[in-house]
Chains A and B, each alone.
Chain A
Amino acid sequence: MDTPPPSKPSWPDLLRQARTESAPDLDVRAALRQQIRSESMTQSLAPAPSGLLDEVLALACGLRGISTFAALTLWVIGFGWVISDAVGEISLVLQLQNHLLAGL
């Protein structure tokens, strides 16, 4: 003959019972100490964060980049102006030449 399955407790009873059970006595200090030490060792092996000098150099490089760009822009404008002047001169010469040829 089969024995009937044990009746299940009600949820509140189960909760009441569970609340009486307590956590085992743990001590994680040794494991923590080890982990923290290994973390700080990893950090010391990592590349050092940039200092003030690095930041100044980076800024100078940035500024140098900006000034190079500005100089290049000015040169392009100047060159454009010279070219346009030269083109104007050539077209004037051509016009005069046309007038001259027409007169002949």
Chain B
Amino acid sequence: MSDIPPDETPSDLALVQASQGGDLEAFNQLVMIHQSAISSVLFRFSSQTADLEDLVQETFIRAWRGLGTWRPDKPFAHWLKRIAVRVGLEFFRKHKRSPMSCLASDGHDRLTALSVESLTPASDEAAQILSHLPPDQRSLLTLLQLEEMPLAEIAGHLGISLANAKIKAFRARRTLRKILTSHGYSTTF
């Protein structure tokens, strides 16, 4: 991945305008600037590299199609992150239970065995526990607890009010507590 010297970096606005004119190279630069941040957010939705690649790609494709809807009075990164969260939420809706989920109904799980093979064992384990939540609650807690995103920002990305986000977070924590208890995890949060 080549790096652009900081003082020669064109602004997001200039790159977006050039991209809107069909300049694929300008869009390429936008992707290069933002793909790391977008990968970090979407990594919370899937730590599996193949899925993560698809999610990041889908985010940028939607961004490319919707460049005209970005308003320059707000940061491009924020707009892009919003798309990424939507893509992540849709991913959760499609995969209501993680395909890797191994939490058995009898309370024992085979996660430990799997985690040895994984490069991101804690992320996998946390994601698999969260996968027992409904998609909306799962997205909210993923962003809140794994990404440590402020609730107001989450509300903005999910297109809900802050009050609504607080209620959803409360319900999600309550459901999570039950799941954790049933699987023998300590629930001190």
Could you list which residues of chain A lie within 8 angstroms of chain B, going by C-beta atoms? 5-6, 8-12, 14-15, 17-29, 31-33, 35-37
Given the known inter-chain contacts A23-B43, A26-B52, A28-B31, please indicate yes or no for A18 contacting B122, CB distance below 8 A: yes
Q: Judging by beta carbons under 8 Å apart, are A29 and B28 in contact? A: yes
Restricting to B1-33, which residues have a CB under 8 Å from any CB of A? 1, 24, 27-28, 31-32
Given the known inter-chain contacts A19-B148, A32-B61, A33-B28, please indicate yes or no for A27 contacting B1, CB distance below 8 A: yes
Size bracket of the B interface: 35 or more
A15 and B120 alpha carbons, distance in the complex (Å): 12
Enumerate chain A residues within 8 angstroms of B112, measured Cβ to Cβ: 5-6
B184 at the interface (CB under 8 A from A): yes
A sample of 24 cross-chain residue pairs with beta-carbon separation below 8 angstroms, ordered by A number, consists of A5-B108, A9-B186, A10-B185, A10-B188, A11-B180, A12-B188, A12-B189, A14-B125, A15-B145, A21-B122, A21-B123, A22-B40, A23-B39, A23-B52, A24-B39, A24-B49, A26-B39, A26-B49, A27-B35, A28-B53, A29-B32, A32-B27, A32-B31, A33-B24
Count of inter-chain pairs, beta carbons less than 8 A: 98
Given the known inter-chain contacts A23-B40, A26-B56, A36-B64, please indicate yes or no for A18 contacting B126, CB distance below 8 A: yes
Enumerate chain A residues within 8 angstroms of B145, measured Cβ to Cβ: 15
A15 and B42 alpha carbons, distance in the complex (Å): 16
A35 and B27 alpha carbons, distance in the complex (Å): 13
Q: Judging by beta carbons under 8 Å apart, are A28 and B60 in contact? A: yes
| Interface SS of B by simple majority | helix
Q: How far is the CB of A14 from chain B (nearest CB, A)?
A: 5
A9 and B111 alpha carbons, distance in the complex (Å): 12
Of the residues A8, A11, A15, A32, contact of B57 by C-beta under 8 Å: A32
Given the known inter-chain contacts A22-B40, A36-B61, please indicate yes or no for A28 contacting B35, CB distance below 8 A: yes
Of the residues B60, B64, B185, contact of A8 by C-beta under 8 Å: B185
Q: How far is the CB of A40 from chain B (nearest CB, A)?
A: 8
Q: Judging by beta carbons under 8 Å apart, are B42 and A23 in contact? A: yes
Q: Judging by beta carbons under 8 Å apart, are A31 and B57 in contact? A: yes
Enumerate chain A residues within 8 angstroms of B35, measured Cβ to Cβ: 26-29
A103 and B125 alpha carbons, distance in the complex (Å): 114
Enumerate chain A residues within 8 angstroms of B49, measured Cβ to Cβ: 24, 26
Q: Judging by beta carbons under 8 Å apart, are B39 and A10 in contact? A: no
Enumerate chain B residues within 8 angstroms of A33, measured Cβ to Cβ: 24, 28
Q: How far is the CB of A52 from chain B (nearest CB, A)?
A: 22
Closest A residue, CB atoms, query B179: A11
Q: Judging by beta carbons under 8 Å apart, are A14 and B122 in contact? A: yes
Given the known inter-chain contacts A15-B126, A22-B40, A24-B52, please indicate yes or no for A8 contacting B61, CB distance below 8 A: no
